[in-house]
Every structure is written in C-alpha cells, then in structure tokens.
A and B are shown apart, each in its own frame.
Chain A
C-alpha cells in the first residue's frame, strides 16, 4: 500500500513516484485485489467525442481508454483502488465540453477529467476545469497547452503537440527528400499551424518553401490549384483533411502522372482510412508523419504488441473484429499513455481523494523521463513540467506495397523548442 505523502513538493513527489510504484509492486497480487475491491474507485471523467465532428476519433479513444483501464485494474488499480471510467459525451462542442467538466467535478465526484481530443473543446473546457480545480488531462496534440493559453490544472502528458511534430519533420525532409518545398494546406487554423511551423523549420535547415497554396475548406475539387505548384518543387507537403481527401489524392495523380515530386504528408489526412484503399495507389512511394506506426514494423516492440492486443487491433492497425475498420492509430495511444501517467502521478503523490488534486498536479509536473514501456508503448518521452507538455519521438513512414514502413525515427531533441510558458508559477 502506498502511504499518503503530505509533502507535495516536486522532489517529494518524485521520491514517492519511485517508492510508491515499488511499494505497490511488492504487495502480493491477491492483497492488491482485495484492497481494490473494497475501496471506493478512482473516478476518471472521460470527456469523449461520442457525437459530432469527432465521433470517429471518439470511438477509438473510447476503446483505448477501456483497454488501458482494464489493464490498470487487472494489475491492482491505482493506490490499490479500482479505476472507474465515467464517460460523458461532449458532442465535440466546447460549451457542452465545459458542462461535462462541471458534471465530472460536481455531479459524478470524479477525481480528474481526461481524454479530450478536439482543440476547440479543450480550449472551451479548460478554463472551467481550472475554476473547479479539477486536474484536466487532455489528449489533443494541440499547441494550446504548451503555448501558455490554458492553466495549471490542464496537462498534456500523453501525446506530443503539433508544433513539435511539424518542426521535427524538417531535418529529414531537407536532407532526404529535397529543400525546395511547396505546401498545400486547408485555409484555416489547422493548415496555418502547419504552414507557420514547417516554413520556419525548413528554413532553419537551409531549405525554402517556394509556394504556400491555401485551399478553401469548402473545396471538393482541387485540379485548378495544382498549376500553382512551381516546376522546381522537389517536395510537396500536403495536409488536406475532411471528406475530399480521397478526391485530392486522385486528382493529384491525374495531374502529375508518374513524374511527381517527392510527397510528404501527415497521416491525419488518412487517419482511420485504409492506405491500401482503391484510389490511394498514387500514394505509393510517398512519405507520412505518423504519431505511432499504424502497421506493425519488423522490429515491433513487445509493448506495441501488447498494446495492440489489449485494444483489439491487428498488425495493420485495424479492428480484430473487422479488418476494414481501421483505427486512429497515430493518436489513440495518447489515451493509454495519459491514463498511465495519471496512475503514476496518483501513486507518486499518494493520492487519496479530491483534496490531493494539487499534489497530483505537482507530482506530474515533477515527471521528466518516461522510458518506453507498457505504459508508454509509442516510445520514450520527456515531460516538461513547466509547459505541461510531453515530447517524444516522431515517425516518418514510406508507403511501400500498400504498407506504411517506418523509415525514420526522430530524436526527442528534434521535437523540442524553447518554453513559451511556465505554469508552475501559477498558484493552485
């Protein structure tokens, strides 16, 4: 049994992290079970996109969360208490999201809130979490956490942010694919982030962006934009999203034929879409950022194997019940890892109940290295307690024979950038 630590300093929390984990591990398994079954559960409010624009992601976030909670409970829970996931639909709506956070804190007696993906819901909900002093663990990959826009109660310890992902691509692109880049992106915030982050990063590598082609979001045909791609383009960087992505690929193929420049994209465009789908043949030989390699690699780790088995996905990242049901593999590991960070944080701080929420935050802020493990199957990470943002390896895969084959793993250093905030200076 872990003992409750009243000292909530970072050093104290870190010490407990080591001691607590070791303590729980030394207990006989039956004792952990017995304890777990008699105590009140740890309630984790899961803010899930069940309906609305995020529903497809929400389903996989749900599956991953259930699997992680089961694993944690099978191993004795947290501090000897079972984990109970309280799933509330936020409708992928920021106002509703704030209401859900309120329900977690006031109605359901949740210890923490967790799991939000879509940025506008995070940005709409985080202030309420801060007011209610509810630790709010998001899995959004937005830069809003690290940018300093949110508050001390909001953390992103299980998934890297888009700024670090984009900038980490530049060294590989510049040295392997080409230095003269044309970017095609949808003309709104998501596309603009890619435009700004990547342009700066490729210039730092001695490359340049020849042309920024912004596509209006309502567009469903793209042929008329392709003549704007300069002839000397060596790399086409594309981040189209939405229902017209398949049309985009098809029309790109019709435009370029076999003599295309190198192509680099973000898997977000084709998340949950089978890369071997008819119509996507043109992507053969092109490159993608992947948050986590969807297709099991030759050197697959045991942790990735166990993660897939627990969530119920096969070697191609699709559901074991239906091989056509492709998961959101590049993102969903974030739920798994975040739950494990919550567990580690609660164990480190000797978390007993809502009175220890500040201690929990301090414990997580005190974390730094997170080695690759079953708790972190995507790979090793480094947490920055000041910016509340985790940093980790990014993957670049090449489509070969309809399979995404990893060709590069970035270092964590490639993904770092100077701190933009220090949440630890904010009081609780």
Chain B
C-alpha cells in the first residue's frame, strides 16, 4: 500500500503557469486542462481514500527519515552569514548605481529570482539553507562577541509572531501592489531600510527578534521544515519532504496564522492576474491599465483572500472537531493542522513562479556572464539571446504546465498525508475520528481544484 501511495506521489510529481506571454497562455487554453484538473484532484482524493484503509503506522512510516548520517557542525555558519551580508550590501549599492533595467541590475535579479524563487523553493525542498544565508545572524553574533553586551530590551512575549505577521503582509503588499517592486533603486531602498531595521531589532531584543519578528526568517524557517534534509536525534537525516513537520511540536498560534498567510498571499498572487479577478474588479483583461490603477483593489483582495482562507480553514476544522467529538479547543486544532498547509503553499510557490524562473533565470545567467558590466563573456553567453520560445510550441507548453500541476498536486498529497498523520498522533483511531478528518480533506481537494484552475486560467498580465 505504501508503495501505491508513493507511486501516486511519483506520478503526480511529473506534472502548471506563466508570467509572460499571450501565446503561451494561448497554448494552455488549447490543452485539455479540465481533464488534467480532474485527474489531479482525483489523485489527491484517492490518497485520502487509501489512507482511510491503511494501518495507522503507514503515515508514521512514510514520514520517518530514511537515511541518517553523522556530521560535524560546520563552524563557519556565522562567517557565511557575514558573506551574505556583504553580498546584500553590494546588491543595495548596485541597486543605486548599476543599470536601471531591472533585468540587468543584480539587485532585483537576486531578490526576485535568486532569492524569492530559487532560494525559497530550495529551502522548502532541501532544508535550512537560510541558516547559512541569513544576512543578520552573523553580524548579530559578531556584534555580541565584540561588545559582550546582552540585548538591552526584553522581547514582549505577549506579541509573539505579530510583528512577523504584519511584516509578511507588508511584503506581500509590496510584491503585488507596489507600482515598481523591481525598480533597482526603489528595491534597494526598501531592502536596505528593512535590513537595518531588522538589525536594530536584533540588537535591541536579541535573537528572539529574528525568529519571531523578522518575517523573512520566519518564512524561511517555516519552509525549512518542509525540506528533505534536517536534524533528527542529533543526526542529519533525509526523508520525504514534510517529515520534519510530522515530527515537530505544536506551533504557536502566531506561527500557525503566518503559515496560512503564506498560502493565502501566494494564492492571491495567482488569482489577481486571472481574467476572473479582473472581471470582478471591472477591469478589461485585454488592456490591463497597470498596477497603479488597481492598487486599492489589489490590497483589498490580498486582505480578503487571507481572511477567506483562514475563515474557511477554521470552519473546516471546527466541523471536523464536531464530527470527531474531540475534546481539543479550536485553537489547538488550528495550530495542530496549520503546518500541513505548508506543502500546499510551497507547491504553489514553485508552480506559480516556474515560468518566471524560466525567463528571468536567463537574465540571471546573463548577469553572471558579465557581472562587472565590462563586456566579459565568462559563461560564453554573450552571443546567446534570452528566449521565450518554449512558450511558443504546444509540446513545451504542455511539459511546463504539467510540471506546474505536478508541483501543486504533490504539495496537496503531502498535505493530506501530514494532516492524516497529525490527526492520528493526537487522538485514537476510531471511525468517528477518521470521519472528523473529512472536512479538512475536502478542503484540500477543493484547494487542488483551485490551484490547478489558477494555472489553467487565462491571465490579463
């Protein structure tokens, strides 16, 4: 049976979206996406049915690390972090002084392509790379060493993850509603100020600020729990993505809400480009008037999408608890199941940005080909033009779309497995308890439909 589950996982992995071009979307519209969507959602539903008949130990087994090895703790973590700080400083400097073109200047290329697309995805697939690349921890460590002083202020425990939640919403607002988030100087200003403010937070409150208040680190640490590689009983371990979540303690409410915001904002990132949304806000999708014309609508939509997701998720949990007749509080259930949303958020993140990566990744390579703007040809790419040709042929568009869909479906299958494993951990396996998982399971199947529909929908920009 386990084999079958893994087979489904494997199948779903070979399965999409775009930020470029009318022609690519044109080919997507010609694909039998309704068939794909039904197949995708069915594989998620099938996983649920299988789980109902599998013995309890199945999910425990699935989420056990398969390989463990002993490693020495690499002592240069803080040094690597310092290098990352230097890199960030260089990028900010380049943002002000380098080329004005956002696809030539390393500032937007590194922030929006290398970090936001590649590094976030790798963090979720592999593990905690952020512990090496975090641009605050190293400098914080050395500042403390140098001054020998403790943080002068006590982080107010009562506010928990509230600063992180506020900052991640502001980040999403900048990403989606700002008129020019890729403008090199504008981005450099925002990034520079944010880095400095977060550093002050670190100096004032100590490392607790970084894990509770600094939204980027919270995001990266949350996704690190999805990674295949992590620490278990003092050893490095490798397992099915999600295994670390299955073994993690109950997260606090603030972190649970933060995780839902990751999915809510990510989903709205896709939704706000669709013909459907543009029609809702009264915009002609064939002549999108530009971001500044829809700032209010985008911000309202972002808040609405997150509210609706949290409300819907909570309602499903409430119903499930009622059916199962459990004695847990709704708050407890919310914290318990929120981490199972992470693979969905990660799957959608990868799917949503895959097409952007395929194009903007080429600009990153072009930058590395000539990083100092001296007509160098380090990678031999000076004669190679950036292409979007793969959006112009039905075969490649199909492969891209199915890869995207695969990421979405795989994310949901893992989410289902995680939710099931969590439910079993926390209560006895009775028929009633199993039935209690139904509302959340239905929610996840519905979200699969939604995620795949987003990929298949025509978009206005």
Contact = CB atoms under 8 A, between A and B. Distances in A.
A and B interact: yes
Interface of A: 48, 50-53, 55-56, 59, 62-63, 86-89, 91-96, 99, 108, 120-121, 186, 188-190, 217-218, 220, 241-247, 250, 272-274, 277-279, 312, 318-326
Interface stretch (B19-27, B201-209, B421-429): B19-27
Nearest to A190: B287
B292 A94 contact: yes
B292 A96 contact: yes
Interface stretch (B8-16, B152-160, B305-313, B387-395): B387-395
B285 A246 contact: no
Contact of B183 (A89, A217, A321): A89
B30 A91 contact: no
Interface in B385-403: 385-390, 392-394, 396
A326 B385 contact: no
B22 A324 contact: no
A189 B290 contact: no
Nearest to A188: B284
12 contacts: A52-B290, A53-B287, A55-B19, A89-B100, A96-B179, A96-B290, A312-B385, A321-B383, A324-B387, A325-B385, A325-B389, A326-B389
B388 A56 contact: yes
Given A86-B100, A220-B29, A91 B179 contact: yes
B22 A319 contact: no
B286 A242 contact: yes
A56 B20 contact: yes
B26 A244 contact: yes
B144 to A, nearest CB: 40
B163 interface: no
A5 to B, nearest CB: 32
Contacts of B396: 324
Contact of A95 (B279, B285, B292): B292
Given A88-B100, A95-B179, A220-B275, A322 B21 contact: no
A117 to B, nearest CB: 13
Contact of A93 (B102, B291, B386, B390): B291
Contacts of B275: 218, 220
B23 A273 contact: yes
Contacts of A53: 287-288, 290, 460-461
B29 A93 contact: no
A159 B25 CA distance: 28
Interface string B290-326: 1111000000000000000000000000000000000
Contacts of A121: 290
Contacts of A217: 284-287
A291 B460 CA distance: 25
B148 to A, nearest CB: 45
A186 to B, nearest CB: 6
Interface of B: 19-23, 25-30, 99-104, 179-180, 182-183, 275, 278-279, 284-293, 383-390, 392-394, 396, 458-461
B387 A319 contact: yes
B243 to A, nearest CB: 38
Nearest to B19: A55
Contact of B102 (A51, A190, A312, A320): A51
A423 B459 CA distance: 39
B179 A93 contact: yes
A116 to B, nearest CB: 13
Nearest to B396: A324
A322 B291 contact: no
A273 B182 contact: no
Nearest to A92: B290
A190 B287 CA distance: 9
Contacts of A48: 101
Given A218-B279, A325-B388, A89 B30 contact: no
Contacts of A244: 26, 29, 458
Contacts of B288: 52-53, 92
Contacts of B290: 52-53, 91-96, 120-121
A190 B385 contact: no
A244 B28 CA distance: 10
B367 to A, nearest CB: 15
A89 B285 contact: no
Contacts of A63: 385
Contacts of A312: 385
Contact of A250 (B30, B180, B390): B30
Nearest to B287: A188
B180 A56 contact: no
Contacts of B183: 88-89
Contacts of A99: 179-180
B379 to A, nearest CB: 14
B286 A321 contact: no
A186 B287 CA distance: 11
B29 A243 contact: yes
Contact of A51 (B182, B292, B387): B182
A195 to B, nearest CB: 15
A49 B261 CA distance: 31
Question: Which 5 residue pairs of A and B lie closest in terms of their CB atoms, listed nearest first?
Answer: A93-B290, A324-B389, A243-B25, A325-B389, A246-B26
B458 A243 contact: yes
Given A89-B101, A186-B286, A279 B30 contact: yes
A55 to B, nearest CB: 6
A120 B288 CA distance: 10
Nearest to B381: A321
B22 A56 contact: yes
Contact of B22 (A94, A189, A243, A274): A243
Given A52-B288, A52-B291, A56-B20, A277 B393 contact: yes
B286 A190 contact: yes
B26 A243 contact: yes
Contacts of B386: 59
A325 B385 CA distance: 10
Nearest to A62: B101
Contacts of B458: 220, 242-244
Given A91-B180, A220-B275, A321 B101 contact: no
Contacts of A325: 385, 387-389, 392
A321 B289 contact: no
Q: In the complex, which of the residues B19, B100, B278, B461 has the most CB atoms of chain A within 10 Å of its own CB atom?
A: B100
Q: In the complex, which of the residues B290, B386, B392, B396 has the most CB atoms of chain A within 10 Å of its own CB atom?
A: B290
A272 B23 contact: yes
Contact of B21 (A56, A86, A91): A56
A274 B384 CA distance: 20
A320 B292 CA distance: 37
Contacts of B392: 272-274, 277, 324-326
Given A56-B23, A63-B385, 5 more contacts: A48-B101, A188-B284, A218-B278, A319-B385, A326-B389
A323 B389 contact: yes
A86 B396 CA distance: 34
A318 B392 CA distance: 11
